[in-house]
Amino acid sequence: MRICSLLPSATETVAALGLADALVAVSDECDWPPAVRGLPVVSAARIDTARLSSLRIDSAVREALGDGRPLYAIDAELIDALDPDLILTQDLCAVCAVSSGAVDELCATDAEVVALDAHTLREVMERIVWLGDLLGVRERGRAVVGEMETTIQTVRAQVAGAPPRRVFVAEWIEPPFAAGHWIPEMVALAGGHDVLGRSGAASYPTSWETVRAHGPELVVVAPCGFDHERAAAEASLPPLGCPAVAVDANAYYARPAPRLADGVAQLGFLIHPELVDDPGLPYVELELVSE
């Protein structure tokens, strides 16, 4: 089996299933496990987000979508030369990766094109088992999900009975986006309540004034595609009446992949440090702008 992954979470999952050697190509955003960075790159974002602020990225994405311009480029010739049997991508978010429709439109290939979409944590786990079955390693898929469930259930048991603490998770900084899909569920499993999050639905823009009005006890800055250092560097937050931290969303929150379980463990510690030990994942405590 020769696999081309256009989706970082799919690349991570294939590796977790023990099939990293089957990968023949990835997207420019695939960075886990580190060994995949040496593979041929067949898709890339047309917007250079490394050089733009979160506000300018949001504006550039909205302008491109409004004009009907694709956000990603595909190297169809390289894909053809690599001759994959399977191409993995998604249809969940037009901003996150190449859609399956775009692959069919731009790339004449005999490879099977599969979209791995998930809206909830349970669906993420189901897709892992499903992909394991597709790739002939169903039991390994079940084992990966079992490891995730063990991590999550340990945190859930530690926070059981504790009053849920009010949390706001920012999936973007400027403008702030309230969390959607699996992230509010992760917060709940960790003993919190996302004051603006919508489980299983798309994230949506809000304002820092609205966030403050909902009285969170903790703000977690987890912008999609950013690690903790970049999130901390760009997060100039107004007074919110509570602590705020920046986390590595790129690794542990935004990608529907096995490391979401580690994100739950970190949230348990951040929300209830008196009950949950620090799992050792990176984060930065933020200083809020004074009145």
The 3 state secondary structure assigned to 149-170 is: HHHHHHHHHHHCCCCCEEEEEE
Whether pLDDT at 278 is above 70: yes
Residue 86 lies in a domain: yes
Distance CA 19, CA 223 (A): 29
Q: What is the mean pLDDT of the chain?
A: 88
Structural domain boundaries, residue 38:
3-117
Query: Reading across the β-sheet that carries 112-115, which strands appear in turn?
Result: 72-74, 41-45, 23-27, 3-5, 86-89, 112-115
Task: Specify the pLDDT at position 101.
Answer: 57
Distance CA 16, CA 33 (A): 9
Which residues are 245's β-sheet partners? Answer: 220, 285
Strand partners, 247: 283
> Chain-centre distance of CA 66, in angstroms?
24
Considering the domain architecture, whether residues 89 and 197 belong to the same structural domain is answered as no
Residues 182 and 266 both lie in one domain:
yes
Percentage of the chain with pLDDT > 90?
Answer: 68
53 or 12, higher pLDDT:
12
pLDDT given for residue 220 in this prediction? 98
Same domain for 109 and 206, yes or no, is no
pLDDT of residue 103: 59
Same domain, 101 and 197: no
> String of b and e for 268-279 (b: at least 16 CB within 10 Å)?
bbbbbeebbeeb
- Among residues 82, 117, 152, which one ends one of the domains? 117
Structurally, the chain folds into a number of domains equal to: 2
Mean pLDDT along residues 111-139: 93
Is residue 84 assigned to a domain?
A: yes
Q: Are residues 30 and 92 in the same domain?
A: yes
pLDDT of residue 211 exceeding 90: yes
What is the value of pTM for the model shown?
0.89
Residues 249 and 187 in one domain: yes
- Residues 156-185 have a mean pLDDT of 96
Indicate which CATH number applies to the domain containing 38.
Answer: 3.40.50.1980
